[in-house]
Chain A
Amino acid sequence: MLYLTYSKTMAESLATNATRFIFREFVVDVLFFPAWWYGKGFIRVGRFTLTRIAEFTNRSRWSPKVWFQNIFVPMYGDYSRSGRAISFAVRAVVALALTVVLVVAVVAYLALFILYLVLPIAVVYFLLHEIFNLPWPVVA
C-alpha cells in the first residue's frame, strides 16, 4: 500500500514536471513569444537602447555635449583674444558637426528599436498574408 502511494506520488510528480516543461517550452516560449517580446523583452531592448544613447551623448569622444558646455572656453589654454575667437568658432563648428553625428546615431539606435517593435507584427502579417491572402503593400 505504501509502495503504491509512493508510486502515485511519483507519477503525479512526473506528470506535473512534464506539464510544466511543455507549458514553459512550447506554450510560453513558442506560442506566446510575442507576450515576452512586448513585455520583458521590450523593457530589456528599450533599456539597452537608452543606455547606448546616453553613453553616446554623455561619455563618448563623439559627444557634442562637452563642446557645447565649453563653447566659450578657449581651446588649448589659449586665453588671448584671438585664441578665444578662434576657439569659439572651432567649437561651434565641431559642436554642430558632432550634433549631426549624434542625431544620426540616435536615429540609428531608434530605428533598431523600432525595427524590434515592428518585426513580429510584420512577420505575423506576412504569415497571415500567405495563409489568408491579406492585402500586400506594393512599392511603385
Chain B
Amino acid sequence: MTQASQSYRIITCPTCTTGVEPCPGCQNRRAALWVMGRFFVWDKHVDRWHIAEERLQRGMHLALNALLLTIGLGGLGVLVWRLSVDAPTVDTSSVLGFLGQRSLAHLGIAISFVADLIIISRFIKARQNRTLVVPRDSDLLAVPAPDLSWPDVLHQQARFENVSRAFLDVTERAIEGAWMFAERFHHKEVEPLHLFAALFALHDTQVVFGRLGVSSKSLSDRVTRALARLETADHPPRVGVACTSTLLRAYLEALLVSKPVVDIPELIVAVGSDAVVAEILADLAVDDTKLRNVVAWISMSQGRTRSYQKWRRQARFRSKGGMNRAFTAIATPMLDQFSHDLTQLARTGSLNHCIGRDQQFEELFRVFESGRANPLLVGLPGVGKSSIVDGLAYRMVADDVPTVLQDKRLVSLSVASLAGNAGRQGELEQRFTIILNEVARSGNIVLFIDNIQNLMGLTTEGGSKLDLAEMLAQSLGHQNFLCIATTNPADEHRYVEQSSLQSVLQRVPVNEVDTNGAIQIVEGKVGPVEYKEGVLFSYDAIEKAVTLSQRYIHDRYLPEKAVSLTEEAAVYVRKTRGKGGLVTGEDVGAIVSERTSIPVTQVTEAETEKLLHLEDKIHERVVGQDEAVKAVSSALRRARAELRDAKRPIANFLFLGPTGVGKTELAKAVAEVYFGNEKSMIRLDMSEYQVQSSLGRLIGTPGGDGGFLTEAVRKNPFTLLLLDELEKAHPDILNVFLQVMDDGRLTDSTGRTIDFTNVILIATSNAGTSTIQAGILANETLENIKQRLVSQELAKYFRPEFLNRFDGIIVFKPLDFEQVIAITKLMLGQLGGILKEKGVHLRVSDAAVMELAQKGFDPQFGARPLRRALQEHVDNALANALLTGQLARRDIAVLEPGGVVRVEKAKEV
C-alpha cells in the first residue's frame, strides 16, 4: 500500500455536502479515483426505486431460468413418454419418424428444445469468469498521482470510467443493505458505517471478524452507538461522499491485487480504512494490517481450494505404480526395502503441503536443469527443507516441473534403516551399490537423502575404505541419476565441505522465513490442525505464535517453532474449553510462558497488584536501601508493560556498597518476588574469573560443550544474572558483559546466539567501600558519593564505556543501628518460621532483640556478623533444648536477654 499511496488519489467533490440534489458540482459523482493515468467513478443510483428494480430484475432472472428449465425438461419428458408409448423399438428411424410428425404437441417439443439450448447457453455464460476490473499495470502504477482538484477532474468527464459494474452481485446487495440501514435510521447520507453494518450480515465478514477474535456483540454495540450519532434528515438518504470514496477504494484494492471483480474482501478492507470504522476497530484491537492479513488469509484459503482442485485434475494423469509412462523403468526391490516413494505419498495427499517458497523452487529447478549438479538444501532445523521436498513431490505428481523431472518419482532413502541391520562385513556397501545401480538403471528416480551428513564415514567395520558418501559422490559424478539432499549449515561446514560430495552437490540455501512469511505459512497450516482438534484459530493466535516464538524461543526456527506452538495451543484449548473453542493470542502466550517461564500473557489483576506494590514486597526481605529497591522495582514494571528496549536485557544494575548491606539479598528478593523463586538466579562469583582463560568456562570452548553462563541462560532465558564482586573479573571477561548489556545477546563457542534480552543483570561490587563510608560519615549525599565513585574509584577497575552500559549505578548505604534491629527481627521471624514447622512457637522479648542487634552490629561488616550472633546465642540454645527434649510440639520458646531460652510447656493433649 505504500506504493499505492503515492500512485493513486481519490478526489472528492467539495460541494456535495450542501444538500442540493443533484450536486451542481459533480452531477452526483461525488468522488473520482485517479490511478494509472485513468479516472474512475462509481456512477450508480441507489434509492428505494432502484433497489426495488434491482430486486425485481434478480427475481425475473431466476424466474426466467426456472421457466426455461421447466419448458425444456417438460418437452424432453413428453418426448420420452411419447416414444415409449408410440415406438416399441427406439432407433434412429423410429425417432426421426416420430419427430417428423406434425402436431401441436410436436410444436411444443420443438419449442422446449429451443428452451434447452437457451438454458444451456445461459448456464455456460454464468460460469464464465468475467474480468471487469481493469488489469494492473506495474509501470503505470509507478507513476505518482498528480495534485488534482475537483474542477481538474471534472474537465476530464469524458474520460470517466464507471466501475459500478465491476462489483459482484453480493457486494451490490451489501450496498443496498447499507442504504436500507440509513433509511431505517432516517440518516441524511449513506456512510461507510452503514456499509460496514450491512457487510456484517454476510458470512464472509463474520468469518473475518471471527478470525480476528472480535465478538459480534461488542462490535454491534459500538456500531449501533456510532450510528445513533449520525445526522438525520427528513428525506431519503443519499449515498455520501465518504461512502463513494470507500467503494472506489474497494475497486482500487481489487485492481492492486489483480482481482477480476470487486468482491466482499476488498469491500471489507476499504470500509476498514474509513476513519469512523477504523476507530471502532481500533477499539477492538484491530488495525489495518491485521484486517488486511485476515482478509488475505480468507482469500488465500479459498484460492488454495481452487489450486488443490486444479492439482487433482492434473494428478489424474499420473501412473499409479512406480512405472513411468514409457515403461523403461525397472523394478527396484533393494531400494524399495530402504525407502519410501514420496510421489506416491503425494498422490494420495499424505504429505504436508508446502506454502509459498517460489524462490526456492525456482532455484531448485535451475540446479536440476543445469544438469551439472544436484541441489543440496542447506538450512537450520525447522526452516522448511523437508516441506520444500514434499512440495516438490506434489509438483512432480502434477508434472508442474521442468522436463528433466517430469514422469519421474521422488524416492526418499532411509539411511537409518539401510545402516541399521547391515551386520556382515561389506554388507552395507553392497546394499548401497545395488541401490545406486537400481536408481541409475531405472532412470525415472530422483533420490532424496535427508541429512546427507549421515552418510559420511558410514562403512561396515573392516569394510571398504570408501564410505557411502564417497560412493554416492562417484555415482553422481557420472551423472547417472538426479539427487536432492538436505543438511544444516554446521554439518555442511564440518562434513560436506570436506568431502567429495562438495563437487557434485550445489548449495541451495533455505533461510528462516520472515515474520509475515511465517504468518502466511502458519495460516496455511492451521487448517488441518483446526479440523483435527475441532477448534478455531483467531488471527491473533497465529500472529502471537510467530512473534512470541521469534522473540522467546531461540533454539528452534521459524516456521516450525510457530507451527508446533499452534498445535500445542489447539490441544490445550480443546482440553480446557472443549471442541469448538477459539484459540486466542492469550492461549498461545500461556503456552510460551509455560515453555520458557517468561510471563508473556496479558498482565492479570493479581499481577498488577503485585507489580504496583513491588517495593513493599521486596522490603519484606530487604531493610532500607530505598533507592535500590525503587530502581529495581521500576525496571521490572517497565519490562512487564513492554516499555523497555526489547533488544537489551530487562535492566542492568551495578550495586555498590560495603559488605553485608543487602546487595545480594536484594538480588535474591527480586528473584523470589518476580521470578517466583530465589533460586531462579544465575550467580557467578566473579572472583573465579580472574584470568583470561576462564572465559572458556563462561561461553564454552571450541569443540567442547557450551559454557556455564550461555547454557544456563539458554535453558532459562527469563532469569536474574547476579555477578558478585564484579571488580575482580579479568578485563576481557568484562568485555563479554559489555556486549551482553548492549545487544542482549552472546554467541557461545558452538556459534549459537544466546538471547539475554529477558535477563535482569545485577552486578555487585564493594570497590570504593571506604569512599562510601567516609562520605556517609561526612554527611555527603548519596548522589555526591556516587559521582565521586564513578569518576575516581570505579575508574580503576572499569572502563567508562562499561560503566555507561548500566541503567543504574546504585550506592548502598552502610546500615545504621535502627536498620540492624529491623534486620534482627526479620531474621528471628525466619527462625520462627522454621520452628513453626516443628510445631514450636518462638517469642522474643524486645530486650533480647536489642541485645542481639548490638552483638551483631559492626559498622564495617554491616549485618553480616548478625547471622553469626544469631547462631551463637539463639540457634545453639534452641538446638540444645530441642535435642534434650525440653522443647516439644506446641511448647513456646521464649528468648530472653543473655541468650536464655525459657520454655513454656504446653498442656498435655
Interface residues of A (CB under 8 A from B): 2-3, 5-6, 9-10, 13-14, 17-18, 21, 25-26, 29-30, 33, 36-37, 41, 44, 55, 59-61, 63, 66-67, 69-70, 73-78, 119-120, 123-124, 126-127, 129-131, 133, 136-140
- Counting CB contacts under 8 A, is B803 at the interface? no
Whether A55 touches B317, Cβ cut-off 8 Å, given contacts A61-B325, A123-B117, is: yes
How far in angstroms is the closest Cβ of chain B from A65? 9
Measured CA separation A36–B53 after assembly (Å): 27
Chain B residues with CB under 8 Å of A13's CB are: 45, 50
- CB nearest neighbor in B for A61: B319
Question: Contacts A5-B22, A61-B317, A119-B117 given: A36-B328 contact, CB under 8 Å?
Answer: no
B49 CB within 8 Å of chain A: yes
Question: Can you give 6 contacting A-B residue pairs, CB < 8 Å?
Answer: A6-B21, A18-B57, A29-B121, A61-B325, A127-B107, A139-B97
Which residues on the A side are within 8 Å of B230 (C-beta)?
A: none
How many Cβ-Cβ contacts under 8 Å join chain A to chain B? 118
In Å, the complex CA distance between A78 and B64 comes to 65
Q: Are A75 and B20 interface neighbours, CB within 8 A?
A: no
Contact of B443 among A61, A77, A131 (CB under 8 A): A77
Asked whether A127 and B64 contact (CB < 8 A) given A2-B21, A13-B50, A76-B328, the answer is no
In the complex, what residues of B have CB within 8 A of residue A63's CB?
325
Residues of B within 8 A of A127 (CB): 107, 110-111, 113-114
Q: A13-B45, A60-B317 are in contact. Are A33 and B118 (CB under 8 A)?
A: yes
Distance of A60 Cα from B99 Cα, bound (Å) = 40
Given the known interface contacts A73-B328, A76-B329, A120-B117, the answer about A136 and B64 at a Cβ–Cβ threshold of 8 Å is no
Residues of B within 8 A of A (CB): 20-22, 45, 47, 49-50, 53-54, 57, 60-61, 64, 92-93, 96-97, 99-100, 102, 106-107, 110-111, 113-114, 116-118, 121-122, 124-125, 128, 317, 319, 325-331, 399, 441-443
CA gap between A17 and B55 in the complex, in Å: 12
A10 to B51, CA, bound (A): 12
Question: Least Cβ distance of A47 to chain B in Å?
Answer: 12
B residues in contact with A130, CB < 8 Å: 102, 106-107, 110
Q: Residues of A contacting B121 with CB < 8 Å?
A: 29, 33, 36-37, 41
How many whole Å from B40's CB to the nearest CB in chain A? Answer: 20
Contacts of B116 in A (CB 8 A): 123
- Taking a contact as CB atoms under 8 Å apart, the answer to whether A10 and B49 are in contact is yes
Q: A123-B113, A139-B93 are in contact. Are A29 and B122 (CB under 8 A)?
A: yes
- The answer to whether A59 and B399 touch across the interface, beta carbons within 8 angstroms, is yes
Kindly state the separation between the CA atoms of A30 and B65 in the bound complex, as whole angstroms.
Answer: 11
- How far, in whole Å, are A84 and B441 apart by their CA atoms in the complex? 15
Looking at chain B's contact residues, the main secondary structure is helix
Q: How far is the CA of A140 from the CA of B93 in the complex (A)?
A: 7
The one of B93, B110, B317, B331 in contact with A123, judged by C-beta atoms closer than 8 angstroms, is B110
Given contacts A44-B124, A59-B317, A136-B99, 10 further A-B pairs with CB under 8 A are A14-B49, A14-B50, A21-B60, A25-B64, A33-B118, A63-B325, A67-B326, A70-B326, A77-B329, A119-B117
A3 CB, nearest partner CB in chain B, Å: 8
A10's contact among B47, B61, B114, B319, by CB below 8 Å, is which?
Answer: B47
Q: What is the distance, in angstroms, from A6's C-beta to the closest C-beta of chain B?
A: 5
CA distance A88 to B325 in the complex (A): 16
Contact of B102 among A6, A77, A133 (CB under 8 A): A133
**Of A6, A9, A76, A139, which is within 8 A of B327 by CB?**
A76
Min C-beta distance of B69 to chain A, whole Å:
13
- Given A69-B326, A126-B99, A139-B93: A17 touches B50 (CB 8 Å cut-off): yes
State the 10 A-B residue pairs at the shortest beta-carbon distance, nearest first. A77-B330, A139-B93, A136-B100, A127-B110, A70-B326, A123-B113, A130-B107, A59-B317, A75-B327, A66-B325
Which chain A residue shows the least CB distance to B441? A77
Shortest Cβ distance from A72 into chain B, in angstroms?
Answer: 11
Chain A residue at minimal CB-CB distance from B325: A66
Q: How far is the CA of A136 from the CA of B49 in the complex (A)?
A: 52
Asked whether A18 lies within 8 Å of B114 as measured between CB atoms, the reply is no
| Complex Cα–Cα for A41 and B122 (A) | 10
Per the bound structure, the CA–CA distance linking A75 and B325 in Å amounts to 11
Expressed in whole angstroms, the Cα–Cα distance for A76 and B60 within the complex equals 64
B92, B125, B328, B399: the one within 8 Å of A75 (CB): B328
| CA A75 to CA B128, docked complex, whole Å | 45
